[in-house]
Amino acid sequence: MILNCIIIDDEPLAADLLASYAKKTLFLNLIGVFNSAVEGVKAIRENRVDLIFLDIQMPELSGLEFAKILPKDTKIIFTTAFSQYAVEGYKANALDYLMKPISYEAFFAGASRALEWFQNMRHIEVVTNDRFIFIKSEYKLVKVMFDEILYIEGVKDYVKIYLADEHKPIMSLMNMKKIEESLPKPEFMRIHRSYIVHMKMIDGIDRFRVVIKDAVLPISDSYKSKLQDYLDGHTI
């Protein structure tokens, strides 16, 4: 997989260094180097840009301000000499935050993280279109159709996948975050640290507990508002 990238930095030396790093990174295709965010806008409009190595402190338009107007599918790795921007950088949904002076090792690690993110997203798209996933369970791969899943329970380092026509759940060594990312949304929704439910399979909601067949699943406070938004759109 090749990622189209651009570099935006108002320091020419820093921009040239990052450009040299990008050119020797085989999975990056550098399509432009710009000295201001304003210059970068045209490139983003005219090309598919997957990844931006973006300086934060720049004249006219800062990197943080620029990040707010980017397409959702364009990801950012912030580059800066000022550590106080780290928290704001991650609030802008950056994949990484590199402190200047940036070594090639740090650059490559950040770029590799971006590559992994895009590969995961492509995998999710393929899986979602196919309406099934293969789950590793007891040294074999088990095909699980989305339409057959009732809910998923996280138990320590394992997940249990409860199916409509099976008495025993399928168990797999996997964390909840990984399987959550592989499920289509909002068809599947996290309602608790330990539970993901198939919204089509819900029989009812009773006092902030989800009822699916014989199971009564708790809804934690951190997921209540998201669930309520969904319910508001499906209630008459």
Q: What is the CATH number of the domain that holds 188?
A: 2.40.50.1020
CB-side exposure of 207: number of CA atoms within 13 Å? 1
Given a cut of 70, the residues of the chain with pLDDT beneath it are 61, 82-93, 122-129, 236
Q: Which amino acid is at 178?
A: K
What pLDDT, on a 0 to 100 scale, did the predictor assign at position 181?
Answer: 83
| The predicted structure's pLDDT at residue 185 | 83
The CATH number that applies at residue 48 is 3.40.50.2300
| 61 and 11 belong to one structural domain | yes
Tell me the pLDDT tens digit for each residue of 135-154.
988 888 899 999 999 999 99
* Residues 46 and 122 grouped into a single domain: yes
Strand duo 96-99 + 132-137: pairing: unpaired
Identify the domain containing residue 167 by its residue range.
132-232
Whether residues 12 and 84 share a domain: the answer is yes
- Given a contact cutoff of 8 angstroms between Cβ atoms, the answer to whether 173 and 189 are in contact is no
**pLDDT at position 144:** 92
User: What per-residue confidence (pLDDT) applies to 82?
Assistant: 67
Residue where a domain stops, chosen among 128, 163, 182? 128
| DSSP state for residue 92 in the 8-state scheme | T
32/120 same-domain check: yes
Domain boundary among 128, 162, 190: 128
* Edge-first strand listing for the sheet containing 149-155: 170-173, 158-163, 149-155, 195-198, 188-192
> What is residue 86's predicted lDDT score, i.e. its pLDDT?
47
Whole-number pLDDT of residue 57: 77
Residues 82 and 24 in one domain: yes
Identify the CA nearest to 85 among candidates 123, 108, 54: 54
pLDDT at 21: 96
pLDDT of residue 166: 81
Q: At what angle do helices 104-130 and 12-23 cross, to 10 degrees?
A: 60
Whether 29 and 103 map to the same domain: the answer is yes
Pairing mode of beta strands 75-80, 96-99: parallel
pLDDT of residue 184: 85
Do 13 and 33 fall into the same domain? yes
Q: What are the tokens at 155?
A: 């138990």
At 123 the pLDDT is: 59
- For residues 195-224, one letter each, b for 16 or more C-beta atoms within 10 angstroms of the residue's C-beta and e for the rest, the string is bbbbbebbeeeeeeebebeebebebeeebe
Same domain, 71 and 109: yes
Measure the CA–CA gap between 183 and 215, rounded to whole angstroms.
21
Closest CA to 144 of 125, 130, 158: 130
Residues 110 and 141 in one domain: no
C-alpha to C-alpha distance for 49 and 215, rounded to whole angstroms: 46
* Same-domain pairing of 185 and 90: no
pLDDT at position 7 is 94
Q: pLDDT tens for residues 58-83?
A: 777 677 777 777 877 788 998 887 66
Total number of domains constituting the chain: 2
- Quick one: pLDDT at residue 90? 44
